[in-house]
Copies of this chain bind each other. A is one copy, B any other.
């Protein structure tokens, strides 16, 4: 980030951007040429997806099982969507059959789901959702904020049309940019869109003109953040994306085992858990806040609490990026065990 800054129309900037595109394609699991970053944090990525692909009055089906699907709902509402929600308790996921049946019945124009739900620790696969959505002609938006770089997003394999993320989770980069990828079907959708998006800053057609061949000035991109993401992606490439996913998986499993050994079980069902963000249940009689304070004060370890319906019921503990290591898991389990005995 401390490298000399070049202009937002400098050839070197577009070269950096091209390399970022290749790195992001690898992490998203996509061949989409339309893979770029938005000059804002993860939520700007979410708003970009909503503002560009949902037109006023458009029937939008949202799989609602956590905080970020609520945020998606709020954004879609503001953009005039006709919203239908498939509600589930926070932490649950949708089976292929129930997702498909719901979409077939509701027949939305756009379907949105959260692949990696940071508020609950649950992972939702997109394959069945995308298949059913495409059968009714709908576009599929997936929130990959907490999966990208730490576990497979399977954008092409699942058939996801628009996926967005943030840089500060499993990509291991400071916050500041929102990666986004759009399928050829999504690009067609954008081209045939009738109304102009209300947002100018996040208008993908204008951003395409800037980042692609024309390089028409749009905004001044935060070049230092591009350098940061560029380097993060090089570190990921060095490790190998498959190896990185495997590392996140094994450290997550090690953590779950360690938690079990100190009598703590998980909120999310086995096989549905994120490898990047763990939600162990706060045991009966233990003060969530006191444990977190002890960890912070005595070990300098910051873990998060649950919120919304999960307030006081779960911890939210990241094992992502550089932080996902057997040493950290071991340290954390021991510190957590000691803190629990005292609180």
Contact = CB atoms under 8 A, between A and B. Distances in A.
Copies of this chain, tallied across the complex: 2
B221 A175 contact: yes
A26 interface: no
A197 interface: yes
Interface in A162-204: 166, 168, 174-176, 196-202
Interface of A, secondary structure class, is loop
B47 A220 contact: no
A339 interface: no
A205 interface: no
B43 A41 contact: no
Contact of A168 (B1, B44, B199, B220): B220
Contacts of A1: 1-2, 224
Nearest to A219: B43
A302 interface: yes
Interface stretch (A74-82, A85-93, A248-256, A260-268): A74-82
A41 B5 CA distance: 15
A11 to B, nearest CB: 11
A342 interface: no
27 contacts: A1-B1, A5-B168, A39-B40, A39-B41, A39-B176, A40-B201, A40-B219, A41-B220, A41-B222, A43-B201, A43-B218, A43-B219, A47-B199, A71-B200, A74-B200, A75-B200, A78-B196, A78-B200, A168-B220, A174-B223, A175-B220, A175-B221, A175-B222, A201-B202, A224-B224, A224-B225, A225-B225
